[in-house]
């Protein structure tokens, strides 16, 4: 495993494109009342990508030498982030997605200049296709959850949350880059805060991997929360979660839907299912702490036909 660095995360604060930094963080009194505690929302939706992915992509692409085509796999948000960051440097990007990937997210990736190829029944099959394509000369395969700079860029969220001295931070877990980066920084600078990851019950691979301390793949990843629908964990990301995460939970589909409605009714935010995993965890599990936080990771809840 290539270790993550709190110092690199601190450096990333200066290098990540400003449009992705210093995002709103607040609590809503009506939502607090419904949940029975103060919940700080870290809102990562108010940027050109509509998600937190620009942080890691921005920091990662800054460290690349021009001249190679970037190849990656994505459910949509990561591909948008890489395409957006690479376009600023004139670097071509090819993104592989599953055949059933959200059509709206595909359109967004293409709008940022990505060449999008659909392959396979799910994200992990698409990732295999991306790896094979990247074997061609002049191509660089980038895996979200394996490249330390991507996790460290995402970890800048932890820099912004650290002064709040939260009891518990609930983080949606897909491939693990987000919680790895945030956990790395908070364990160094706000060690009192418990870091709790939240997976979809229909995509529990990262939960199983954290419990077993080794990558555990599942046969399927069936959840409306496509942003956290991981079937085959990335070994490096599993090691990061083992090192930095205090607990891992799973939430049911009905609870995710409930959390989406609750956030919309109380704050007016319409977000994608994976973004409310932390709220769903508060609805479904007994989580300690009077002052809790979560990251609203993305707003890209777009109709398949859009």
Running along the chain, 306 residues long, what does each successive block of 10 average in pLDDT? 92 97 98 97 96 96 89 93 94 95 90 95 92 94 95 98 98 97 98 98 98 97 94 96 98 98 97 97 96 95 47
pLDDT confidence of residue 300: 79
Is residue 304 situated within a structural domain?
no
Counting every residue written for the chain, the total comes to 306
Pairwise CA distance, residues 123 & 96, whole Å: 8
Is residue 12 situated within a structural domain?
yes
Same domain, 122 and 207: no
Same domain, 90 and 191: no
Same domain, 70 and 23: no
Is residue 44 situated within a structural domain?
yes
Same domain, 159 and 211: yes
Output the CA–CA distances (angstroms, integers) from residue 114 to 106, 178, 245, 247, in the order listed.
Answer: 9, 23, 33, 36
Q: Of 94, 114, 141, which residue is a domain's last?
A: 141
Same domain, 79 and 175: no
Q: Of 100, 122, 141, which residue is a domain's last?
A: 141
Radius of gyration over every alpha carbon of the chain, rounded to an integer in angstroms: 18
pLDDT confidence of residue 297: 97
Same domain, 47 and 182: yes
CA end-to-end span of the chain: 40
Is residue 69 situated within a structural domain?
yes
Same domain, 61 and 196: no
pLDDT confidence of residue 304: 39
pLDDT confidence of residue 302: 59
Same domain, 127 and 155: no
Is residue 305 situated within a structural domain?
no
Pairwise CA distance, residues 222 & 220, whole Å: 6
Pairwise CA distance, residues 52 & 156, whole Å: 10
Same domain, 189 and 246: yes
pLDDT confidence of residue 1: 63
Domain span at 133? 53-141
Same domain, 46 and 117: no
Is residue 173 situated within a structural domain?
yes
Q: For 125-273, where are the E strands, in sequence order?
A: 139-141, 168-172, 194-200, 247-251
Same domain, 171 and 198: yes
Is residue 302 situated within a structural domain?
no
CATH for 79? 3.40.50.1100
Q: Of 116, 141, 166, which residue is a domain's last?
A: 141
Same domain, 178 and 252: yes
pLDDT confidence of residue 305: 33
């Amino acid at each position: 495993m290539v270790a993550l660095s709190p110092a690199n995360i601190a450096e990333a604060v200066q290098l990540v494109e400003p449009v992705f930094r210093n995002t709103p963080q607040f609590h809503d009194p009506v939502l607090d009342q419904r949940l029975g505690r103060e919940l700080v929302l870290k809102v990562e939706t108010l940027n050109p990508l509509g998600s937190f992915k620009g942080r890691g992509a921005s920091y990662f692409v800054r460290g690349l030498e021009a001249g190679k085509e970037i190849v990656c796999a994505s459910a949509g948000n990561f591909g948008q982030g890489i395409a957006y960051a690479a376009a600023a440097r004139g670097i071509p990007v090819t993104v592989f997605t599953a055949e059933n990937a959200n059509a709206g997210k595909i359109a967004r990736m293409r709008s940022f200049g990505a060449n999008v190829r659909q392959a396979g029944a799910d994200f992990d099959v698409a990732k295999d296709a991306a790896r094979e394509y990247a074997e061609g000369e002049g191509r660089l395969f980038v895996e979200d959850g394996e490249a330390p700079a991507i996790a460290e860029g995402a970890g800048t969220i932890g820099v912004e949350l650290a002064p709040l001295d939260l009891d518990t931070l609930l983080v949606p877990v897909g491939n693990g880059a987000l919680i790895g980066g945030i956990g790395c920084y908070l364990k160094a600078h706000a060690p009192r805060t418990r870091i709790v990851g939240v997976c979809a019950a229909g995509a529990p691979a990262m939960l199983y991997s954290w419990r077993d301390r080794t990558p555990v793949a599942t046969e399927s990843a069936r959840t409306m929360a496509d942003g956290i629908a991981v079937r085959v964990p990335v070994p490096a990301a599993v090691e990061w979660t083992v090192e930095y995460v205090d607990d891992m939970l799973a939430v049911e589909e009905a609870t995710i839907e409930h959390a989406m409605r609750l956030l919309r009714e109380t704050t007016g935010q319409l977000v994608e299912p994976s973004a409310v995993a932390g709220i769903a965890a508060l609805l479904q599990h007994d989580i300690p702490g009077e002052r809790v936080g979560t990251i609203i990771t993305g707003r890209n809840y777009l109709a398949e036909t859009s």
